[in-house]
Amino acid sequence: MLARKRILLIISGGIAAYKCLELIRRLRERGAAVRCVMTPAASQFVTPMSVAALTEDRVYSDLFSLTDEHEMGHIRLSREADLVVVAPASADILARMAAGMANDLATTTLLATDKPVLVAPAMNVRMWHHPITQRNLADLRALGVRQVGPGEGAMACNEFGMGRMAEPAEILAAIEAQFAAGPLKGVRALVTSGPTVEAIDPVRYIANRSSGKQGHAIAAALAALGADTALVTGPVNLPDPDGVRVVRIESARDMLAACKAALPVDVAVCAAAVADWRVARSATSKIKKPDTGETPTLAFAENPDILRTLSRPGKNRPRLVVGFAAETDHVLRHATEKRARKGCDWIVANDVSPATGTFGGDSNKVTLIDAAGAEDWPPLDKAEVARRLAARIAETLGKKP
Ligand code: CTP
């Protein structure tokens, strides 16, 4: 997908700049040509020498360098690329981009480019949540700038929260999505997959038998048709699908938060087997066996319903919301009721009674239920169910305003 594509990578100042070296390697492995512009601050975090060695090209950094302008003017630099990626995109460069400034080579190139721009923000959590940063990003997004990340986690500044740059694999997936061709090009998709696990204490948990095979296959099929796809998944034993941004979570509440962070999307497919309940008060230390031989009693609390939340009418409701109904008996009746109860557009009903081998297995026998009625599909392997579903989604979104 990336063979012979030309990526102009603008590296701004931030500790996450070191991840760019890995990103460059992965892009090169896929046949892309990478040319880099580094801000002076970026050179404090990674050396231009490393970047030049990995790109096998020179690194551009100075707007007023006669040699640079002679070899490659900044206008040419910005045009001779198929995509401009800013990673890490510091709060500072985002602010300058939003203000239309052109006070160094990076921002001049960004203002002069006629190519799509993708930013991977990276900054301290407070800088990220600052209304000015959020406003700048909203302005940039409204102008068509695409964004990947940031994620949540421990930061180099010893704080914890949002602002960590997306991992190279996620940035790579977002870049691949930019070049994808197909009926879902320009469509944003969200897929949930796998089980959720709910902690009892730091060593024990409650989970279910979902393998994530169907959800992962759907994410792969949507991405293959060109959708910019985010996959929010519980713990599974599966490789990340190609061209998909993967967000790993454990609990249902984490899954809901990750789904909300992925909005707005055009289509959401909830294939995860979300635990309906969590332990009301999970213990912070391991629960010990009492000498008395008494057995512990666990009190449960209801988990949020992700499908129902995404289906709620509102400005962020995806144009199409698809749920699954895993049933062991009265499949059609229960699934039809579930569609109405959850408020989703389609339900993919499947029989998961042990004799079918659906849970954990490779094949699936589903019935697609929409407002018009129910359509039985023949037994298919999960990848084929995914391809058919993705094709049906493409057909429907093509018609839906
Ligand atoms: N689902 C969800 N969040 C939950 C529970 C379920 O998003 N907390 C989604 C699943 O991903 C699936 C659909 O809702 O798309 C139906 O899940 P299922 O387990 O079949 O139904 P439940 O709502 O749990 O109902 P029941 O257990 O009574 O069958």
Question: What total of structural domains would you count in the chain?
Answer: 2
In degrees and rounded to multiples of 5, residue 169 shows phi and psi of -65, -35
Residue 370 lies inside a defined structural domain of this protein:
yes
Residue nearest to ligand 1 atom 6, measured at CA: 274
- Cα-to-centroid distance, 184 and ligand 1 (Å): 26
Residue range of the domain that includes 75: 6-179
Q: What angle do helix axes 19-29 and 48-55 make, rounded to 10 degrees?
A: 10
Residue 1 lies inside a defined structural domain of this protein:
no
Q: What is the pLDDT of residues 239-274, one digit of tens each?
A: 888 778 889 999 999 999 999 999 999 999 999 999
Residue 252 near ligand 1, beta carbon < 6 Å: yes
Confidence of residue 70 (pLDDT cuts 50, 70, 90): low
Q: What is the pLDDT of residues 134-168, one digit of tens each?
A: 999 999 988 889 888 898 888 777 788 889 999 99
Residues 296 and 262 in one domain: yes
Domain boundary among 179, 213, 237: 179
Residues 381 and 262 in one domain: yes
Residue 306 near ligand 1, beta carbon < 6 Å: yes
Residue 325 near ligand 1, beta carbon < 6 Å: yes
Residues 148 and 276 in one domain: no
Residue nearest to ligand 1 atom 9, measured at CA: 307
Residue 98 near ligand 1, beta carbon < 6 Å: no
Residues 344 and 394 in one domain: yes
Is 157 marked active-site?
yes
Residues 165 and 193 in one domain: no
Domain boundary among 179, 205, 220: 179
Residue 206 lies inside a defined structural domain of this protein:
yes
- Burial (CB count <10 Å: 0-12, 13-18, 19+), residue 390: buried
Residue 48 lies inside a defined structural domain of this protein:
yes
Domain boundary among 127, 159, 179: 179
Average pLDDT, the chain: 92
Confidence of residue 36 (pLDDT cuts 50, 70, 90): very high
Predicted local confidence at residue 270, as pLDDT:
98
The CATH number assigned to the domain holding 52 equals: 3.40.50.1950
Locate the ligand 1 atom nearest the alpha carbon of residue 252 and give its number.
Answer: 8
Residue 382 lies inside a defined structural domain of this protein:
yes
Percent of the chain with pLDDT over 70: 96
Cβ neighbours of residue 51 closer than 8 Å, sequence gap 6 or more: 11, 20, 21, 24, 36, 38, 59
Residues 197 and 297 in one domain: yes
- Cα-to-centroid distance, 325 and ligand 1 (Å): 7
Residues 286 and 383 in one domain: yes
Residue 326 near ligand 1, beta carbon < 6 Å: yes
Residues 134 and 249 in one domain: no
Q: What is the pLDDT of residues 94-136, one digit of tens each?
A: 999 999 999 999 999 999 999 999 999 999 999 999 999 999 9
Residue 301 lies inside a defined structural domain of this protein:
yes
Q: What is the pLDDT of residues 312-346, one digit of tens each?
A: 999 899 999 999 998 888 999 999 999 999 999 99
